[in-house]
């Protein structure tokens, strides 16, 4: 409908929304394509808010694609390139939100996404040097994530090591 009406900015917003949906469903390649199209439209319209948002979505898509190195989809060199592209897009979004478009929540979102990009990038670099004693591997992160469980009626707790004698504290949920 927006295409029939010729509302280019609204079309870009729809493309970004679809890109978010594809990311949520684990389809970062489709999200990238949509984000690139949205960015092209916003650049053509010279709308800074749209450029920033599309750059943020594109950066997130590139990070998700780059993270596929862990499952063997991409070689480390290709993932490093993707992380570099993600960083450039996120830097662009941050600069726009910081200096031209007053959207504090989006600025925080862009900084958070930059942190996620660096986290994935450093995990890739750590995997190349397993002898590093200062870094935890991805398997360590996965085991920490799986040790945190929520049970009905309680807050999530971290599982204690087998050598610990005390059981984890549980905070009962109030019933009001």
The residue that leads in pLDDT, 6 or 55, is 55
pLDDT of 144 strictly over 60: no
pLDDT exceeds 70 at position 174: no
Find out whether 18 and 27 touch, Cβ atoms under 8 Å. Answer: no
- Cβ neighbours, 10 Å, residue 20: 16
Euclidean distance between CA atoms 75 and 79, whole angstroms: 6
Q: Strands 157-158 and 148-149, how do they pair?
A: antiparallel
**Residues ≥6 apart with Cβ < 8 Å to 94:** 107, 110, 111, 114
Distance in angstroms between the alpha carbons of the first and the last residue of the chain = 47
**pLDDT (tens digit per residue) in 76-91:** 999 999 999 999 999 9
d(CA 78, CA 27) in angstroms, rounded, equals: 18
| Mean pLDDT value of segment 112-140 | 77
Write down the pLDDT at residue 17: 97
Mean pLDDT of the chain: 81
Q: What is the pTM of this model?
A: 0.72
User: What mean pLDDT comes out for the span 59-66?
Assistant: 98
| Residues whose CB falls within 8 Å of the CB of residue 96, separated by 6 or more in sequence, listed in order | 48, 49, 51, 52, 55
């Amino acid at each position: 409908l927006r295409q029939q009406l010729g509302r280019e900015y609204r079309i870009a917003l729809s493309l970004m929304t679809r890109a978010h949906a594809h990311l949520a469903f684990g389809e970062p390649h489709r999200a990238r394509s949509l984000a690139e199209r949205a960015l092209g439209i916003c650049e053509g319209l010279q709308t800074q808010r749209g450029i920033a948002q599309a750059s943020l979505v594109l950066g997130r898509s590139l990070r998700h694609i780059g993270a596929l190195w862990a499952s063997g989809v991409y070689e480390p060199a290709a993932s490093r390139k993707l992380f570099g592209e993600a960083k450039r897009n996120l830097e662009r979004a941050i600069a726009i939100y910081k200096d031209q478009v007053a959207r504090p929540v989006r600025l925080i979102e862009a900084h958070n996404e930059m942190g996620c990009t660096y986290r994935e990038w450093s995990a890739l670099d750590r995997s190349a040097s397993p002898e590093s004693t200062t870094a935890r591997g991805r398997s360590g992160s996965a085991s920490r994530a799986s040790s945190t469980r929520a049970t009905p009626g309680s807050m999530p707790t971290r599982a204690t090591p087998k050598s610990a004698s005390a059981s984890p504290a549980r905070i009962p949920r109030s019933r009001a």
